Structure formats: structure tokens, C-alpha cells
Amino acid sequence: MRPGFAGALRCPECGDPLATDPPGGHEPDTTLRCGLGHVVPVIAGIPRLLPRETAALLAAAHPAYFEKFPALRLPAASAAAPASIRTLQAFADEWRRFPELHDVHRRIFDWYFEGPEPVRWPGLEVLDAGCGMGRWLHFAREAGAHVVGMDVSGAIDVAAARDGAGADFVQSDLRHPPFAPASFDLVYSLGVVHHLEDPLAGVRALAKLVRPGGELRLYVYRTLEEEPLWRRWLLAATTALRRVTTRLPYAAVHAVSWVVAATATVLFLWPRRLLRGTRLGDRLTRELPLVHYADVPFRMVVSEQFDRLVAPIEGRFSRAQVEGWLRDSGLDVVAILPGLGWRAIAKRPPG
């Protein structure tokens, strides 16, 4: 944990600033304490500020830490929705299983941050809310931003292992971010909000962190109301398959994902690669399912299918719904760009 990062955090119990305990200590395994005496674990250099329903999972994931700090008492677990717990466990498993960065990730990063004006990264204070294994914060950091990666799952350890020397990390729920209001120039959350039971609550929480004149950027899945019937049928089939796979062990979901990826490669991706060089071949293959994966490594195709098949909660939203979240959160909508999902850009009005 970078010296000084603790001071940017707020106690999940009372909202007061936190400090290392003992003061000035920077051991990888330590604690943080607020003025009222509430204690927060720091495990492997990462502060762990989790809501009540998920904090109890830390003891199972890090038993050696709690043997070292036996007096530390986590909040008692409440009756959380099983889908919420399963979702965070699923993504922790996913990013430990697929931690690689590929060349195509940089192109996807650039696509996510398209807009009316380019993002001027150097010097920005940025929050990656739901960073997973840290794909996008890696490129934001390389572009010159100071980035904080926040994720509720154990995937935060994968991100910190790659970029721990150049970014800050905290394990926390984006619905309860441990930061003071107006802490960041740019807050982004890509592919996360649609996995929340209450997306609006997540957007409201993130919007509060944006400074006057700063931006919030989201990427969420969109409805297919205006798409051809075959696309809606394919989504319905995938949804039916997810009713099974979200109940399977993760190793079994991985196997199913491999089969789906292999089938798609043979039926759709290979024909697209072979035929797109001609006008007729391009026209015949451009609308095939999953052809946006035509230029990515096979292992990434597998990971993308795993992502779709493992998470119990997956929402799809209209443009009007996304715009409504942003306006409800006190932001001005700059643009909502189409694609595989909605890329939404909103600004906090100047103070």
C-alpha cells in the first residue's frame, strides 16, 4: 500500500478518515483505524473494506491473516442475496483463471473511451470501479493517470500483482465506495453495473465521487429490442443456458465455455477470417454470431464465454434507462454511444 493512500480512504462504519495502525506502519499485513476506533484489515498491502454481507468471506480467503490478528473482528454476516455472493465469487474465479492481457485489450480500451472529446489521461485522478483483474487500469496508468483499482472480489489480488507498483488498490463494493465525495476527476465502471441487483444504486454511489467538471463513464449491456429476430433468439438461448451454468461448479462452466468457444470458432470465426477479404464474403459473414471475436486469441474467446455463463445477475437496459440513471444521479449526459452495449459519458456540472 502506497504511503498516504490510507488517508484517502473512509471508514465503512462511520465515514471518518483512516490511518495506519500503528501510525506510519506500512507492512503488507496490517490494519487501518479511524478516530472512533473502527479497524479495517490490510491484507497483502490491500485495504479490505467490504460491506457486512461479504466481509465474512475474507476470513475464509485469508486464514493466515486472521491468525496473525486474532483480535480483529469483522462485521457479522447478514442474510445477503445468494446471487450477490455467487456473482462476486464467480468473477474472482474468472480473473484468477484468465489473468492474461492480450494485444486486443488495448484496442478495446481505446473503444471504451471513445467520445466527443479524447480523454486527456496525464495527471488525472481516476477510479476503476469494478476493476477485476485490472485490464483497463493497466492502460489508463500507462497513459499517465493515477489510478485506484476497486473491486469487491478476490480478483483485486490479480490486478495488484500486475500493477501494484504503479496504482492503488482497495477491495470494496462499488455501492459503498470508501472515498470522500468528489475524490476523482474520472470514475469509470466497464461491464459491472449490469451485474448489480440495483444498478441505479451503484450509479448514484459512483456519481458522488466525481468532482465538479469531472466525468463518469459506464459500459452496460443493452436490450436487443430493435435487433433482428435471430439475434433475440440467440440471446434467449444463451439466457436459457445460463439458467443451468450459473448453478454449476466453476470448472464445469469453464468446460462448457471451451465447447461454446470452439464451436463458435469453427462455425463463425474461421469463415469470417477466411471470407471477409472479398466484398461478397464480407457481406455474408459480417452478421454472423460472435464475429467481433474474429481477431482475438482463442483463450480470450473462452474467457468471454465464461464471463457470460458464470454470473447469476445479468441485466440489459435501454438507452433511456441508462440516461435516466445518469440524470437521476445529478449528472449531465454528454453521449451514449451504441455498440455491443451502451458506452455512456456524463459530467458533473461545474461547482
Same domain, 142 and 10: no
Rounded-to-integer distance, Cα 278 and Cα 275, Å = 6
Same domain, 251 and 151: no
- Final residue belonging to a domain, choices 44, 63, 80: 80
Rounded-to-integer distance, Cα 66 and Cα 61, Å = 10
**How many beta carbons lie within 10 A of that of residue 176, not counting itself?**
16
Mean pLDDT over each residue of the chain, to the nearest integer = 90
State phi, psi for 33 to the nearest 5 degrees: -140, 140
Mean pLDDT of 153-159: 92
Instruction: Report pLDDT digits (tens) over 298-348.
Output: 999 999 999 999 988 899 999 999 999 999 999 999 999 998 899 999 999
* Highest mean pLDDT: which range of 19-23, 233-237, 267-271, 337-341: 267-271
Per residue, the 3-state secondary structure of 204-248, as one string, reads HHHHCCEEEEEEEEEEEEECCCCCCHHHHHHHHHHHHHHHHHCCC
Same domain, 260 and 195: no
Quick one: 57 exposed, middle or buried, by C-beta within 10 A (0-12, 13-18, 19+)?
buried
pLDDT value at residue 14: 86
Rounded-to-integer distance, Cα 178 and Cα 41, Å = 13
Same domain, 103 and 176: yes
Q: What's the pTM?
A: 0.92
CB-based contacts of 239, cutoff 8 Å, min separation 6: none
pLDDT value at residue 312: 87
Which one is predicted more confidently, 3 or 300?
300
Same domain, 106 and 188: yes
State phi, psi for 328 to the nearest 5 degrees: -60, -30
Rounded-to-integer distance, Cα 164 and Cα 197, Å = 30
Task: Yes or no: say if 46 and 152 are a contact pair by the CB < 8 Å rule.
Answer: no
Say how many domains are in the chain. Answer: 3
Same domain, 201 and 329: yes
Mean pLDDT of 235-248: 92
Task: Yes or no: say if 154 and 96 are a contact pair by the CB < 8 Å rule.
Answer: yes
Rounded-to-integer distance, Cα 198 and Cα 315, Å = 10
Residue 302 CA to chain centroid, in angstroms?
18
- How far is residue 250 from each of residues 95, 157, 247, 261, 311, measured CA to CA in Å? 12, 19, 9, 16, 10
CATH number for the domain harbouring residue 131: 3.40.50.150
Range of the domain at 241: 229-310
Same domain, 182 and 236: no
Same domain, 250 and 332: no
Angle, helices 250-264 vs 298-310, to 10°: value is 130
DSSP letter string, 149-163: EEESSTTHHHHHHHH
- Final residue belonging to a domain, choices 33, 64, 80: 80
Same domain, 249 and 214: no
Binned at pLDDT 50, 70 and 90, residue 195 comes out as very high
Instruction: Report pLDDT digits (tens) over 44-87.
Output: 999 999 876 677 778 778 888 988 888 776 655 554 556 667 77
Same domain, 110 and 237: no
- Final residue belonging to a domain, choices 45, 62, 80: 80
Binned at pLDDT 50, 70 and 90, residue 6 comes out as confident
Quick one: 143 exposed, middle or buried, by C-beta within 10 A (0-12, 13-18, 19+)?
middle
Rounded-to-integer distance, Cα 255 and Cα 184, Å = 40
Same domain, 263 and 140: no
pLDDT value at residue 295: 93
First to last CA, the chain: 32
Rounded-to-integer distance, Cα 218 and Cα 223, Å = 16
pLDDT value at residue 304: 92
Mean pLDDT of 204-233: 93
Same domain, 186 and 241: no
**Helix and strand totals (H; E) in the chain:** 14, 11
pLDDT value at residue 83: 67
pLDDT value at residue 150: 97
Rg (alpha carbons) of the chain, rounded to whole number: 21
